[in-house]
Amino acid sequence: MVSKDVKADDVVATLGDVCAARGLDALTARLAALQTLLAGDLAEVEAALAVVAKNGGTPAHESARHLLELGGKRLRPICVALASHVGSGFTPAALTFAVAVEMIHNATLLHDDVVDLGDRRRGADTARVVYGNAASIFGGDWLLAEALCRVQAAGVEGVLDRMLVVVREMVTAETLQLAARGRVRTSTSEYFKIVQGKTASLFQWAMFAGGRAGGVGTRECEALESYGGMLGLAFQIVDDVLDFAGDPEATGKDLLTDLREGKMTYPLLLAVERDPGLADELEANCRGDEVSVTPEIARRIGRVMSEGGVVQDCLALATRMCRDAAQSLEILPASQARSALQDVALATPLRRK
């Protein structure tokens, strides 16, 4: 087991806890069954990631090890595994893709924390704080290159090609996001363009790769991809809500980080829509492309968000997207994997971490 204190299937357990707390007994029970279904697959993923984490002794390798060993939700490997079970099951290629998608996700975070000057992730200091920016960047580069080689070696037609397009999409989205920093008057369409590239595209790939590894047909793979895209968008909306309304103990990240970074996330865009005067105040607090978050502006945003029902509206949109994601799988024959994917989607807007 790689993680020190976070289990790989933690996300399912957490979703289950949240559902139980909300009295969603049927969903809680189904998520528990999902944990059982995936226990063997995820143990294999963890074992393989532990081997990856042992690699090399340079500060770059230490950076990658640092992040991998902190665990995480492993939601992308869960997507690969469930998509593979829509077909013939968790084949060796599916294991490769599940490990690769987690490596790539971690690579993006090692880069992202340098770009965002992030100090805390997964409840710990970021790799860049511990080992420095250069080590974090090269650790990410190494994970990315290693993952691409593994995807290529798996030799499943079309999967590497699609991955290369996704890498390009992620980089393009991040460059757009960087250029948009501190630009208070932006649009929701710009936001969704960025989120599609930086988050949804990798979920889409996870579903596609899992489906292909399990020998799923073209039309079914398209449904899996479409599910991944909608799940990814909803996942990021919830992430952005947690920046304002989350519990740092649960998320492992500091509150209001996106705001400080001058990122106009969906909750903030809705707050500005509810109270256009807020845009002027945010602009007045911009220092370069960052926002200086005074207690006054934090209180003001909190007030607009609570009076305007912003968190509820964001979560309502995420819920609609997740319902659409679940619905998109209806063209697949009924199976335990299909139901499990639908349950993951229904539980995603409820996540706390």
Q: Name the minimum Å distance from CB 236 to ligand FPP.
A: 7
Q: Name the minimum Å distance from CB 229 to ligand FPP.
A: 14
Q: What is the rounded distance in angstroms from the CA atom of residue 68 to the CA atom of residue 8?
A: 11
Q: Which does 84 bind (CB under 5 to 8 A by kind): Mg ion, ligand FPP, none?
A: none
Choose between 139 and 214: whose C-beta lies nearer to ligand FPP: 139
Choose between 71 and 214: whose C-beta lies nearer to Mg ion: 71
Residue 174 interacts with ligand FPP (CB under 6 A)? yes
Report how far apart, in Å, the C-alpha atoms of 186 and of each of 24, 182, 235, 244, 279 are.
37, 10, 21, 19, 10
Residue 100 interacts with ligand FPP (CB under 6 A)? no
Report how far apart, in Å, the C-alpha atoms of 217 and of each of 47, 211, 336 are.
30, 8, 18
Residue 169 interacts with ligand FPP (CB under 6 A)? no
Element housing 121 (H / E) = strand 120-121
Q: What are the residues binding Mg ion (CB under 5 A)?
A: 112, 116
Report how far apart, in Å, the C-alpha atoms of 302 and of each of 256, 280, 282, 306, 330 are.
11, 16, 13, 6, 39
Residue 122 interacts with ligand FPP (CB under 6 A)? no
Q: What is the rounded distance in angstroms from the CA atom of residue 323 to the CA atom of residue 240?
A: 19
Q: Name the minimum Å distance from CB 262 to Mg ion.
A: 12
Residue 198 interacts with ligand FPP (CB under 6 A)? yes
Choose between 73 and 253: whose C-beta lies nearer to ligand FPP: 253
Residue 290 φ/ψ, nearest 5 degrees: -110, 160
Which residues bind to ligand FPP, rule: CB under 6 A? Answer: 107-108, 111-112, 115-116, 118, 140, 144, 167, 170-171, 174, 198-199, 253, 257
